[in-house]
Amino acid sequence: MLRYLTAGESHGPALTVIVEGMPSGLPLTEAYIDRQLARRQSGYGRGDRMKLESDSVRFLSGVRGGLTLGTPITMQVKNKDWDNWKEIMSPGPDADLNRRVVTRPRPGHADLAGAIKYRHRDIRNVLERSSARETAARVAAGSAARKLLEELGIKITGQVARIGDVVTENENPDPDEPERSLAGAQLLCADPGAERRMMGAIDKARKAGDTLGGVFEIKVYGVPAGLGSYAQWDRRLDGRLAAALMSIQAVKGVEIGLGFAAAGLPGSQVQDEIFYDPGRGFYRCSNRAGGIEGGVTNGETLVTRVAMKPIPTLGRPLQSVDLVAKEPSFAAVERSDVCAVPAACVIGEAVTAWELARVCLEKCGGDSLVELKNNWDRYLSYVKQV
């Protein structure tokens, strides 16, 4: 079983992730993961912390000579800002608990609910872990899964489709050369005209002390039919993908294929008709289902779209109530982004890669990459001759 666990605070010494169940013999380097971490930090509209941090991963276990060992992989991403927070965030009894105390919860954050749940008087104890900084560890884990999928011929591409009220008309980056399609893009948008308008909208929001959300789309190519299951609710791949994507901070909606649009159409305009060709096998001429039917992949491109709300930390804070004094006040202001939709897209690619790697291993198994690929190739041969 492929699984991972993350740990670490936003201003703690480091973020850590332990990955268990990765087959041995997978080529994996720190540089490969660092490229994805850098993508997560990029994007027009990011905050000042991105200027300070330059994330890189360090393998502490499970990899030797550029190959996974089949044992738990420990990865660490250091927080460079830790130097400025050592006294405040120290785990020892000498920690200065009276500095940078937060008692004014921010609407839209986990601040108030988390403080109530864990009985904290200082909301910093909540925001340090609920922060989207945690996703750097998830991108590290998802990047290892992404590398495994590449070995199986599966490619993942993502694009920002909307920021605020600006919508792109471009379908998606070239699946064979996504980096070329997005070369020079500052918002992971393959539509230069739309991207310029998006940047203008971000500038306007920044000037107003406001923030912007948007929509990103992820497409996965090379996924064969038969991954996932309809046998139990928690094994349906669409449910698993939706849960993974919804777990990303600030995400408020996930749709697969036509998604919500399907609710307003007759069935004849929603289902994908089935065709067969001896040289090609079963295929569809449309992909309204987004590559999944009944919780199982059907061999078409996997398509998800994800809605991210505007970041709740505003330059011009909203009304709140002090947790301790119980008096009206404005919400606390922490260092934050104006828009982080491109970053969320990269994180979305990572969690998508993770769930797909899991179902690939569930389907074909293997303690080593060689064993997995042998099983995978046999399954693909079977699918082609059905």
pLDDT of residue 178: 63
CA proximity to 140, closest of 43, 233, 89, 75: 75
CA 179 to chain centre: 18
Q: Is the pLDDT of residue 97 over 60?
A: yes
Per residue in 245-294, pLDDT (tens digit) is: 999 999 999 999 999 999 999 999 999 999 999 888 899 999 999 999 99
Q: What is the overall mean pLDDT for the chain?
A: 94
Q: Rounded to two decimals, what is the model's pTM?
A: 0.95
Residue 358 CB-half CA count within 13 A: 22
pLDDT of residue 177: 67
Q: Is the pLDDT of residue 142 over 90?
A: yes
Under the banding of pLDDT at 50, 70 and 90, the label for residue 20 is: very high
**Burial letters for 322-355: b for 16+ Cβ neighbours within 10 Å, e otherwise?**
ebeeeeebebbebebbbbbbbbbbbbbbbbbbbb
CA proximity to 75, closest of 149, 8, 154, 131: 8
pLDDT of residue 28: 98
CA proximity to 46, closest of 311, 351, 347: 311
Non-local CB neighbours of 264 within 8 Å, separated by 6+ positions: none
Q: Is the pLDDT of residue 315 over 90?
A: no
Report how far apart, in Å, the C-alpha atoms of 114 and of each of 120, 196, 273 are: 8, 38, 48
Cα–Cα dist 116/120, whole Å: 7
- Domain of residue 288, residue span: 3-385
Q: Are 16 and 8 in contact (CB under 8 A)?
A: yes
Cα–Cα dist 90/242, whole Å: 36
* Angle formed by the axes of helices 135-151 and 369-385, nearest 10°: 60
Q: Which residues pair with 256 in a beta bridge?
A: 304
Q: Is the pLDDT of residue 52 over 80?
A: no
Per residue in 151-194, pLDDT (tens digit) is: 999 999 999 999 999 999 866 666 666 666 677 789 999 889 99
**Identity of residue 21:** G
Q: Is the pLDDT of residue 50 over 60?
A: no
Residue 287 CB-half CA count within 13 A: 17
Q: How many domains does the chain have?
A: 1
pLDDT of residue 313: 87
Q: Are 286 and 303 in contact (CB under 8 A)?
A: no
Under the banding of pLDDT at 50, 70 and 90, the label for residue 125 is: very high
CATH number for the domain including 15? 3.60.150.10
